[in-house]
Amino acid sequence: MGNIVLQCQMKQIEKMKDFYDEFLRDPNPPGSVFAAKLPACMVTAYKSGKVLFQGNDAEKEAERWGNRSPAVNKPAVKTAGQKSAAKGTVPPGIAQMSVIGSDEVGTGDFFGPITVVAAYVKNENIPLLKELGVKDSKDLNDPKIIEIAKIIKDVIPYSLMTLKNEKYNQVQSSGMSQGKMKAILHNQAILNVLGKIGPEKPDAILVDQFVQASTYFQHLKGQKSIANENIYFSTKAEGIHLAVAAASILARYAFIQYIDKLSKAAGFTIPKGAGAQVDEAAAKLILKKGRDVLPAYVKLHFANTEKAIKLAAKKRK
């Protein structure tokens, strides 16, 4: 199945919409102008100006509207798979392999869950993801992450695991380390993707490293199933393969959505991170809804909890 992206003016997108009128789907995907399902091609035009063609007739339909993006036309060029700043052993040329990448978001945030995503990027889709702007989510602002995530979630197989605050606080108080939590979540997300793409197998599995490989597998002792075939670990893995970068974007997108839900429930905007602003927000939450609601919103073992309680007490005086 082919995937091609065109960058178009809105005037041209409106022409496309009229042309595909009998094939239009309703409702439109989030962030899109229209989506049309043809017998052998899916056409989705986004407000950003990008038009995604997917299916056996992708090339034929894209050519109807103009030349394909150069990034999609170019054959994959073998590049150095590992940046000098990264640490970890990975196969030579991994950057151009078909890889499952896994990454997580939210571990250092006081509010909100831990979100882990494993995503499968085939070699043939690497140019497409580059054209869509996929890179380390830390280098993208939230609006751009949302824009990209809404497109790639329909292009690549992935699995999202969300460890909500209530469950996080429960297992943390029972003695489980955050490292073990993450290892379990990464393993399950990877297994889910392997199940989705089977019997096809990736050339490699790359995890953005948060512990030594030996510790990772130690954390997984007792799990019913463990993904351990062709699995590699490296820091700064988002720069090694786009599968990890895509996973980081999808994990961040899920985290942003969850923070938005918490904000609606709280009645005010919940900040990200673990700085002074979250202490103020947690104190406000305590004053508004009571201390008992904290386990549903925050990671209780963070030092921010005590700071927020003290702030709330001062404000009551």
pLDDT in tens, 124-134: 889 889 888 89
At 89 the pLDDT is: 76
- Provide the pLDDT confidence category of residue 76 given band limits of 50, 70 and 90: very low
**The residue to which tokens 């297994």 are assigned:** 191
At 55 the pLDDT is: 85
DSSP label at residue 224: S
Q: What would the mean pLDDT of 237-245 be, rounded to a whole number?
A: 94
The per-residue pLDDT for range 203-224, each reduced to its tens digit, is 999 999 988 899 999 999 999 9
CA dihedral (89, 203, 140, 160) positive or negative: negative
Backbone angles phi, psi at 47, to 5 degrees: -65, -20
Report d(CA 78, CA 80) in Å as an integer.
7
At 300 the pLDDT is: 96
Please report the DSSP string for 247-299 in residue order. Answer: HHHHHHHHHHHHHHHHHHHHTSPPPPSSSHHHHHHHHHHHHHH-GGGGGGTB-
CA 76 to chain centre: 24
At 287 the pLDDT is: 96
The per-residue pLDDT for range 29-52, each reduced to its tens digit, is 777 888 999 888 989 988 888 888
Residue 111 exposure: Cα atoms within 13 Å on the Cβ side: 29
- Provide the pLDDT confidence category of residue 67 given band limits of 50, 70 and 90: low
DSSP-derived 3-state class of residue 66: coil
> Which residue type does 97 have?
M
The per-residue pLDDT for range 144-185, each reduced to its tens digit, is 999 999 999 988 999 999 999 999 999 999 999 999 999 999
Decide if 132 contacts 245 (C-beta within 8 A).
no
Instruction: Give the residue with greater pLDDT, 93 vs 136.
Output: 93
pLDDT of 1 above 80:
no
Q: What would the mean pLDDT of 245-261 be, rounded to a whole number?
A: 96
pLDDT of 80 above 50:
no
Q: How far is CA 290 from CA 12, 264, 308, in A?
A: 54, 16, 12
Q: Given 3-state DSSP classes, what are the helix, strand and coil percentages for the chain, each rounded to the nearest 5?
A: 45, 20, 35
Decide if 189 contacts 159 (C-beta within 8 A).
yes
Please provide the distance, in angstroms rounded to a whole number, between the alpha carbons at the two ends of the chain. Answer: 65
- To the nearest 10°, report the CA torsion of 11, 13, 18, 19: 120
- To the nearest 10°, report the CA torsion of 74, 4, 148, 93: -40
DSSP label at residue 39: T
Residue 222 neighbours by CB under 8 Å, 6+ apart:
none
CA 232 to chain centre: 19
Q: What would the mean pLDDT of 134-141 be, rounded to a whole number?
A: 83
pLDDT of 81 above 80:
no
Decide if 215 contacts 233 (C-beta within 8 A).
no
Q: Which two tokens stand for residue 116?
A: 């882990």
Decide if 259 contacts 287 (C-beta within 8 A).
no
